[in-house]
């Protein structure tokens, strides 16, 4: 998941240093796989973020597609959500195929 800094200070585009806004980088490896978080880059614009992401995370054909997303734009769950938010509802046995009976003699279903 996105690795968003705890204190997300955005020093906009001051030219005194390199601290441009932070962008999270997602790469799609070849062969139809989903985009996956790779890391982050600083960049002044979305276009520059894409170029930086390519230079930093895809120098050796690691990606066929790159997404860059302003870190600020990501809403993420928190570790405190671990319990109820992700409750798998294991008590709801009817969500699983094993709950249902198949007549004897049917081997491959």
Partner 1 sequence: MSSSAQTTVPADDPARVAEFEARIARGETIEPKDWMPERYRRQLVRMMSQHAHSEVVGMLPEGNWITRAPSLRRKTSLLAKVQDEAGHGLYIYCGTETLGVDRRELIQQLLDGTAKYSSIFNYPTLTWADIGCIGWFVDGAAIVNQTMLAKASYGPYARAMVRICKEENFHKRQGYEIMATLAAGTPEQRAMAQDAVNRWWWPSLMMFGPHDKDSPNSDELLKWGVKRKSNDELRQRFVNLTVAQAKAIDLVLPDPDLRYNEETENWEFGEIDWDEFWRVVKGHGPCNRERLAARRAAHADGEWVRAAAAAYAAKHNASAAEAA
In the complex, minimum distance from the CB of residue 7 to partner 1, in angstroms, rounded to a whole number: 5
In the complex, minimum distance from the CB of residue 1 to partner 1, in angstroms, rounded to a whole number: 8
φ, ψ for residue 13 (rounded to 5)?
-120, 35
Distance, in Å, from the CA atom of 23 to the CA atom of 60, rounded to the nearest integer, reads 21
In the complex, minimum distance from the CB of residue 108 to partner 1, in angstroms, rounded to a whole number: 38
Contact, 10 vs 73, CB < 8 A? no
Contact, 41 vs 54, CB < 8 A? no
Return the H-helix or E-strand segment holding 52.
helix 46-57
The pair of structure tokens assigned to 86 is: 């992700």
In the complex, minimum distance from the CB of residue 88 to partner 1, in angstroms, rounded to a whole number: 18
Beta carbon nearer to partner 1, 75 or 98: 75
User: What number of other Cβ atoms are within 10 A of residue 37's Cβ?
Assistant: 15
Residues that bind partner 1 (CB under 8 A): 1, 3-7, 9, 11, 13-15, 17-20, 22, 38-42, 44-45, 48, 55-57, 59-60, 76, 78-79
Beta carbon nearer to partner 1, 18 or 65: 18
């Amino acid at each position: 998941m996105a690795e968003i800094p705890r204190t997300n200070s955005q020093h906009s585009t001051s030219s005194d240093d390199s601290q441009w806004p932070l962008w999270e980088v997602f790469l799609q490896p070849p062969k139809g796989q989903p985009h996956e978080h790779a890391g982050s880059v600083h960049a002044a614009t979305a276009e520059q973020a894409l170029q930086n992401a390519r230079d930093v995370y895809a120098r050796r054909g690691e990606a066929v597609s790159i997404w860059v997303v302003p870190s600020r734009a990501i809403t993420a769950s928190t570790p405190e959500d671990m319990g109820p938010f992700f409750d798998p509802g294991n008590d709801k046995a009817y969500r699983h195929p094993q709950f249902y009976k198949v007549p004897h003699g049917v081997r491959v279903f």
